[in-house]
A and B are shown apart, each in its own frame.
Chain A
Amino acid sequence: MIEFFGEVSAWLSDPANWSGRDGLPNRLWEHVSVAGVSLMIAGIIALPTGVALGHRGQGGILAVSAVNIGRAVPSFGIVGIAFPITLSLGLRPLGYAATLVALVALALPPMFVNAYTGVRQTDAALVEAARGMGMTERQVLTAVELPLALPVLMAGIRTAAVEVVATATLGAVVGFGGLGRFIIDGFAQRRFEEVFVGGAAVALLAIATETTLGWVQRHSDRSHTARKDRATGPPAGDDVVETVPVG
């Protein structure tokens, strides 16, 4: 065991692992950038759709099925299916494109569901009051529903981001770079110290994503009670926000 961690530290202190295409910084950048681009694409598609349907109160069935399907379809399978689709579309570079397609597909359900639910759950009395004050539908949406839906919407983005960062690792199986490269190549060549470094880097990135976006999410809640909670610290266990209904 001590020997193994000796190998890990030897790997980490080898300058060759810190530069060039196969270096840790480049692999990290590949990982973060494919995750970021896929989140942006998914957000542009899912957020306006979810908000619009939530405002009109249509598409509840779509939201429920998105939750269930999103949970039942294995992300590894999505990566596997995205690969031949990308191949037949002739998108290049293949590994990157296949990973991107898979990650977008994966990020759509949580973003859509939370945008929909967030707007849908807005207190009906507040919406009525806003209409009674003579607000236009657009004003009701932008000045009442959206600000109140923001924390739920942000929770959806956070869930999607963590899933995307996790699954980008599997992109290495379809020829993409990213941090998963260390794990997959390490397996193939039985260099387990490299596998371990890759795993640790992915884990830290996922935890950092979760923590950062969790912080953003809490601070996106601008209601009076939330502000008071922040001043005294959030109630215990409240940082784990349920993004999908339990049961």
Chain B
Amino acid sequence: MNIDWEWIGTHFDDMWTATAEHLALTVLAVGVGLVVAMALSLVALRWRPAYAPITWFTGILYTIPSLALFTFFIPFFGLSLITAEIALVSYTLLILIRNIVAGIEGVPDAVVESARGMGMTERNLFLGVQLPLALPVIIAGIRIATVSTIGLVTVTALIGQGGYGVFILRGIRRQFFTETLTGTLLSVALAVVADLLLVAAERRATPWARRREAV
């Protein structure tokens, strides 16, 4: 189980390529997931009875193991990017919807009432008051979704997609420990960096929270 440093030294190009692929698969999944989750959350916020069935269904999607979920879409889309992305997007929904709804509902009634009292339209109220105030909770959800998606993307190597999973899979097939370990550690590193970037984004997006902290 020795580490082959020479292999690592000569494969930086491959690692960059894999990082770009891994990042692309992740950003696409979380991005599309966020759009879908926002739409479903708006439905649930408008019409409360929809919330339970929506979380029930996305909860089932969340429970299905990734490899199994891939297999359901293979008959339709083959071993393709679409198959991988449908499954990856499905996994982000439960976490995102739960946090979007909890975040919006957590905005104090008094704030909403005064915004209405100032004559804000429902649209302005949502975009200008509720959404910004819910941002910390929503971003907390995005962080969890992003970190878990980065881990799940490794499995897409099994259905012919790129990213760090290729290193893991090749390392197993060739019994070459260095490659498997490299793939795993790169995935952990990407998850940590992405998480830190999202924390920084949250601080920038909610300057009022920072000011309160400083006092």
Contact = CB atoms under 8 A, between A and B. Distances in A.
Interface of A: 1, 4, 71-81, 83-85, 87-88, 162, 165-167, 169-170, 173-174, 180, 183-184, 187, 192, 195-196, 198-200, 202-203, 206-207, 210, 236-237, 239-240, 244, 246-247
A229 to B, nearest CB: 15
Residue from A72, A83, A187, A198 having most chain B Cβ neighbours under 10 A: A72
B205 interface: no
A71 B147 contact: yes
A85 B1 contact: yes
B16 interface: no
A169 B154 contact: no
A187 B184 contact: no
B112 to A, nearest CB: 22
22 contacts: A74-B151, A74-B154, A74-B165, A74-B168, A77-B184, A77-B187, A79-B172, A80-B168, A81-B177, A166-B66, A167-B65, A174-B172, A196-B74, A196-B75, A198-B71, A199-B67, A199-B68, A206-B63, A236-B51, A239-B56, A240-B55, A247-B141
B118 interface: no
Contacts of B191: 71-72
Given A187-B158, A202-B67, A247-B136, A80 B151 contact: no
B19 interface: no
A72 B184 CA distance: 10
Contacts of B140: 246-247
A62 B62 CA distance: 27
Interface residues of B, number: 59
Contact of B51 (A80, A81, A237): A237
Contact of A71 (B148, B168, B184): B148
Given A74-B152, A74-B187, A246 B63 contact: no
Contacts of A206: 63-65, 68
Interface in B150-207: 150-152, 154-155, 157-159, 164-165, 168-169, 171-172, 175, 177, 180-181, 183-184, 187-188, 191-192, 195
A77 B63 contact: no
Residue from B52, B63, B152, B188 having most chain A Cβ neighbours under 10 A: B63
Contact of B65 (A84, A173, A202): A202
B41 interface: no
